[in-house]
Amino acid sequence: MVFGNMGNTSATGVGFTRDASTGENIFNGEYLINAQGEDVVAGIRTPQQITLIGSKRWAESQGVPEDVRKNQFPSLEESLPETYQELKNVQEKLEQHFKDMQDIEFTIQNGKLWLLQCRSGKRTGAAMVQIACDLLREGKIDEKTALKRIEPNKLDELLHPIFTPEALKTAKFVAKGLPASPGAASGQIVFFADEAKKFAQSILVRIETSPEDLEGMNIARGILTARGGMTSHAAVVARGMGKCCVCGAGSLNINYKQRTLEVNGKVYAEGDWISLNGSTGDVFEGKLQTQEAQLSGDFGLIMDWAEKYTRMYVRTNADTPKDAQIARKFGAKGIGLTRTEHMFFEGERIKAMREMILASDLTGRQTALAKLLPFQRSDFEGIFEAMNGYGVTIRLLDPPLHEFVPHETAQQQELAQDMGLTLDQVKQKVHELAEFNPMLGHRGCRLGITYPEITEMQTRAIIEAALNIKAKGMDVKPEIMVPLVGNVNELEHQLKVVKKTAETVFKERNDTIHYLVGTMIEVPRACLVADQIGQIAEFFSFGTNDLTQMTLGFSRDDAGKFLPYYINNGILKVDPFQVLDRQGVGKMVELAVKNGKSTNPHLKVGICGEHGGEPSSVEFFHIVGLDYVSCSPFRVPIARVAAAIANLTHP
Amino acid sequence: MVFGNMGNTSATGVGFTRDASTGENIFNGEYLINAQGEDVVAGIRTPQQITLIGSKRWAESQGVPEDVRKNQFPSLEESLPETYQELKNVQEKLEQHFKDMQDIEFTIQNGKLWLLQCRSGKRTGAAMVQIACDLLREGKIDEKTALKRIEPNKLDELLHPIFTPEALKTAKFVAKGLPASPGAASGQIVFFADEAKKFAQSILVRIETSPEDLEGMNIARGILTARGGMTSHAAVVARGMGKCCVCGAGSLNINYKQRTLEVNGKVYAEGDWISLNGSTGDVFEGKLQTQEAQLSGDFGLIMDWAEKYTRMYVRTNADTPKDAQIARKFGAKGIGLTRTEHMFFEGERIKAMREMILASDLTGRQTALAKLLPFQRSDFEGIFEAMNGYGVTIRLLDPPLHEFVPHETAQQQELAQDMGLTLDQVKQKVHELAEFNPMLGHRGCRLGITYPEITEMQTRAIIEAALNIKAKGMDVKPEIMVPLVGNVNELEHQLKVVKKTAETVFKERNDTIHYLVGTMIEVPRACLVADQIGQIAEFFSFGTNDLTQMTLGFSRDDAGKFLPYYINNGILKVDPFQVLDRQGVGKMVELAVKNGKSTNPHLKVGICGEHGGEPSSVEFFHIVGLDYVSCSPFRVPIARVAAAIANLTHP
């Protein structure tokens, strides 16, 4: 044992070979004269800077005059210059040896320098990028090593606005939720999606969100919910939009009637300012200053390496041309999932959709579907245009119809009037559509099978849109995805409807286009019979959200009741909706890939669940041989780097 | 081609070498002089009996005087005696050759007999048993062949009351539902379970039933529901009780407020008589006469063969000593599933249960659980006593707590008063317990893990009950089953709680008893990691109902919306909740058995889902090497025969 508290030629401290916050190549750190490590940690004395330049920068930032600094807070470089020089030489040697930024603990006992430990230092996302690129430029590491130095998740910090460190210092903490979608946002509280416009900057505060809230979610600066996990509706949609979101903040008591939010006795009303950190899950009071995301040239460099070393490519989950463009900018090569139902909630669309649902017979449904056709077609045109040159996977209608009908009497009354029905008839229909477990109910291809006219309309919209964009001279590659298939007969049924409709459109237009038909693999049974399904599917896309729900028997909307307990008590290491459960869900994926390729070696295989943007999951998908992962636009760079590192680690 | 319509020495007919209805060893059948096959089918002319004795019996039953019979409806034996004799010889020869009751089509052309076809004849359950036993006694077939002649499902006809043929002739058909639980029942309509006592013979008519209705279901003669499939609550409970039930009769419009049942414009009120055939799904108007089930000695003979030739044994799913005794009489060797929650709905129990759920802290829950302990203990004592000598598998609490709280304001008010809470507090708690997909929610071992005090109380009740019954000199073999395990850590957690509690009770009582701890395999993930689970489980019991729900992604309560369409349109051949889906769920079962036995060769493996009493599924369970199947009491004989036949077919 050595002692740093043996007098004024003794000291203790921590040094970094580069700046852990910015990545700047400058030796830095803190020390205390006549002290032990505990004293630095305890925070009783103000630690001093090791280098003179560091000390001067510190004094400037703290408003400490130079004479005070020099006398009361001198740098080690000034107070023990010889030992400082020795330490400086040692840190250079250590970095040269380990070829990475080092975090070095040292003690000086009566002028003699002792090193206690050194290790690769923790760093911010910005520093991580800077240091990796600098080390490469300095010739200390090669490109592959530089790439492996990137923790993909940390790139997130570079892609979203953050609160300024100054703002955070004085911020008043209100509550903690799940870091559902990264970024920082301040705004005035609104409790209803259709009131998001009420303030120029609003934060939508809900117990939970539903597809009806989509427009308001888009307008709000950020979203805060009291219920729901990392794959709840709010979380998924917010990530897709690249919008800051904190989910499942259980301590919030939201009263829609009184338009109040109560936390630990304190009440916030509509219009009050609130701030969300979607990267940490923190909720703060008031308006906090944010700083915008800035992508450096080094970020582009890393993307180039990702491109060079990856085997898998990355697509995006996008429902709008805007999302598609953002993702494309980040290097997405196609769309892995367009959810058509997200297009059904605006204005006239939802009316036609509801008319379709409430129709009493085929003719009624066809009439309503005919109204939806032009909306769908023009939506698809926008997306095809945005993804010119790349494949676009469009999923046929998936959610249970109950999600589209109004549940409040006033809206039901309105719908009844529009449709010439009585309120009771509408209520009856809504009641009939209710399900005990909608997740396992009448949804996915079960809708397209019992109502083939829906699949017909959607296929027509896709093929017509594709031909229209092709006519503009663009390269359109539509991929029609049948959801929730568990039995090859289901896909066969839908395949027939799709092919027949496409042929009809081709004849009408006297033109054709190449398209693929595949299926989403999200029901456990589909993995077991993937050899049969592979015989008629042109691609598989794993829906790992639902596959996780069914394989584990966890409803993602309800798991909040036990999942936190499971994680806190070591029953689960991580949330399986965030990080793919390799032993369970992963085994199913592996089985499906093996089975599917056994009968169809050319089967294209990807994944479009939320796991597509999570590095450990991406690594697994690389290992089992998937062709691509698809994720929300702002996760694309992360997935790209993760895929490339996975390929370097598991060649 | 030959012609039976060439004059009075020509004829056509169908003969049976034995009676297809009773099994009596008597040649019989019908014919028409001067006719072709179509004439017999068309029903314009009354067919005549082939034999004299048959003709006389017919005349007696129809009240036709002997002279009329002889002149207008003579037997073939009388009208064409030589040809008759030839036919009689031929039928003997054919049965001797095929060694089974034959259904023979013949035509007589100008006195010459031509045989058109012959095949093994269809028969009733009673005839099936009689004929198989007679053929054996006549030395025509051996025991194994006789056993294979039994269609296990047809034994059902022998185990339940049926409507008399006379009553059925004049019965007025009302509606058709699913044949959810066999038997015949007439009674007066009641719409609420707690009013089942209102009439001496009542039929409970509900949109659907819930655990709260249990007592009333027990009192009613039969149960009729408008919603729900073969594994809905009503169906499962009714089969367990051996009570007649017709489920999911979609054409019924039930109005609880007005206490009416409307079908196709006709309205039935409370107190009106109605009759159900649970074996066919038919609902009739009025009161129909029934005849009781009568088990012949031959039935016992078949059970003996089943015993002799089976590899698997059969247990029963039973929640009460009465059920256990019935099943034991049918040859059940132990209980494969006791659902403890079914014991929670009577009187004081449900109050204590609700007190436990609404308690705000551990102490509150423990106080309420202490009240439940004596109830549970005495229930378990009854069951242990009834199954003296055999293993009894008791499943720890499984359903989500939401099922136990009252959902109507009046009851909530009462509960609030009982517990000294406000109505709002009770409503809030009930609201908090609601789940989007309760089937995948906070239930099964997730309850026992987040509230270990529940598992403690249940374990104490089981072990104390076992010691009490052991003290009476009986042989008690408790098996504690942890439900819904998907991760070995879950089982490990519960195992610790169980073992610690058992050790405590052993010390208190200064006595011990051998018990097993195992798990229900019902989550797909459990099958994938069964090697891990097998290392600490002493038995696996497949919960194929839930395993089917999750593997296929079919909610059994909601599948009624698409399953009938799937079956009618050939997407599925059968209802996977009735007949095990071998390619999907079966593969999971196979995987779990293989994985489990790979780490624990002594693992006991059984199944306690509804499939345990379905012959094709039982065959599959035999093939994959299960040790036992467990089913509702009235399915035990069926499962026993199915298991034995499976062993003969797949030795």
Residue A616 pLDDT:
97
Question: In terms of domains, do A571 and A640 share one?
Answer: yes
User: Does any domain span residue B339?
Assistant: yes
Q: Say if the Cβ atoms of A435 and B558 lie within 8 Å.
A: yes
| Average pLDDT estimate for A275-282 | 92
Rg from Cα positions in chain B: 28
d(CA B401, CA B380): 21
Name residues 467-526 of chain B within 8 A of A (Cβ).
Answer: 484, 486-487, 489-490, 493, 522-525
pLDDT in tens, A108-149: 999 999 999 999 998 888 899 999 999 999 999 999 999 999
Using the predicted structure, report yes or no on whether residue A231 has a pLDDT greater than 90: no
Whether the CB of B131 is below 8 Å from some CB of chain A: the reply is no
pLDDT, residue B178, reads 86
Are B199 and B336 within one domain? no
Count of structural domains, chain B: 3
Please say which residue of B105, B122, B139 terminates a domain: B122
Q: At what angle do helices B409-419 and B347-358 cross, to 10 degrees?
A: 80
**pLDDT of B432 over the 80 cut:** yes
Residues B225, B324, single domain; the answer is no
Distance from CA of B402 to the nearest CA of A (A): 13
The one-letter amino acid at B331: G
Interface membership of A585 toward B (CB under 8 Å): yes
- B338 token code pair: 């006791």
pLDDT digits over B534-583, tens only?
A: 999 999 999 999 999 999 999 998 998 899 999 999 999 999 999 999 99
On whether both A233 and A166 belong to a single domain, the answer is yes
Annotated catalytic residue within A608, A611, A622, A631: A608
Strand partners, A290: A163
Annotated active-site residue in A160, A233, A402, A493: A233
Residues of B whose CB is below 8 A from A437: 437-440, 549, 555, 557-558
Minimal Cα–Cα distance from B210 to chain A, Å?
12
Q: What is the pLDDT of residue B235?
A: 85
Encode pLDDT of B117-171 as tens digits: 999 998 888 899 999 999 999 999 999 999 999 999 989 888 888 898 888 888 9
**Residue A363 placed within a domain:** no
Does the CB of A443 have a partner CB in chain B at under 8 Å?
A: no
Q: Please report the pLDDT score of residue B41 as a whole number.
A: 64
Is A576 found in the same domain as A549? Answer: yes
A571 in the same domain as A480: yes
> Are A566 and B449 a contacting pair at CB < 8 A?
yes
Of A439, A446, A571, the CB nearest to B562: A446
Identify the weakest region by mean pLDDT among A190-199, A448-457, B460-469.
A190-199
Mean local confidence (pLDDT), A385-397? 97
Mean pLDDT along residues A394-405: 94
Say yes or no for a CB contact (<8 Å) between B487 and A588: no
Q: Is B630 within the bounds of a domain? A: yes
**pLDDT reported for residue B219:** 92
Give the pairing of strands B102-109 and B11-16. Answer: antiparallel
Residue B141 domain-assigned? no
pLDDT tens digits, one per residue of B179-229: 888 889 999 999 999 899 999 999 999 998 888 888 899 899 999 999 877
Q: Mutation target for B interface from A437, A454, A488, A496: give the one with most B CBs within 10 A.
A: A437
* Burial label, B520 (beta-carbon count in 10 A; 0-12, 13-18, 19+): buried
Q: Phi and psi of B516, rounded to 5°?
A: -110, 155
**Final residue belonging to a domain, choices A291, A322, A356:** A291
Instruction: Look at residue B131 and tell me if it is in a domain.
Output: no
Residue A480 tokens, joined = 């029609």
Read off the CATH number of the domain in which A631 is found.
3.20.20.60
- Give the whole-angstrom CA distance, residue A280 versus residue A376: 37
Residue A496 domain flag:
yes
Please state, for a pLDDT cut of 70, what percent of chain B lies above it: 99
Contact (CB<8Å) A437/B583: no
Distance from CA of A591 to the nearest CA of B (A): 11
A565 touches chain B (CB under 8 A): yes
**Could you tell me if B193 and B117 lie in one domain?**
no
Q: What is the pLDDT of residues B338-372, one digit of tens each?
A: 998 877 887 788 889 999 999 989 999 999 999 99
Establish if B434 belongs to a structural domain: no
A323 alpha carbon, distance to own chain's centre: 13
DSSP for B62-116, written as a single string: HT--HHHHHHHS--HHHHSHHHHHHHHHHHHHHHHHH-S-EEEEEEEETTEEEEE
Question: What CATH number has the domain bearing residue B235?
Answer: 3.50.30.10
Q: Do residues A525 and A626 share a domain?
A: yes
**Domain boundary, last residue among B70, B101, B122:** B122
Same domain, B98 and B166: no
Q: How far apart are CA A47 and CA A405, in angstroms?
A: 63
Nearest-CA distance from A553 to chain B in Å? 5
pLDDT value of residue B42:
67
> What is the structure's pLDDT at A41?
64
- Examine the domain organization and report whether B286 and B314 are in the same domain: no
Same domain, A538 and A460: yes
pLDDT tens digit sequence for A316-354: 999 999 999 999 999 999 999 999 887 788 778 888 999
**B576 belongs to a structural domain:** yes
Greater pLDDT, A211 or A107: A107
pLDDT of residue A596: 98
pLDDT band at B392 (very low <50, low <70, confident <90, very high): very high
What pLDDT, on a 0 to 100 scale, did the predictor assign at position B156? 86
**Nearest chain A CA: its distance from B376 CA (Å):** 26
Contacts of B523 in chain A (CB under 8 A): 551-553
Cβ distance A441 to B585 less than 8 Å, yes or no, reads: no
Q: What is the pLDDT of residue B297?
A: 87
For B29-46, what is the mean pLDDT? 81
Cα separation of B253 and B206, whole Å?
A: 10
**pLDDT above 80: residue A107:** yes
Query: Does B564 lie at the interface with A, CB-CB under 8 angstroms?
Result: no
Same domain (yes/no): B183, B118: no
In this predicted structure, what is the pLDDT of residue A37? Answer: 77
Q: Can you count the helices (H) and strands (E) in chain A?
A: 27, 26
Q: What residues make up the domain containing A477? A: 310-343+377-398+445-649
pLDDT at A295 exceeding the cut of 90: no
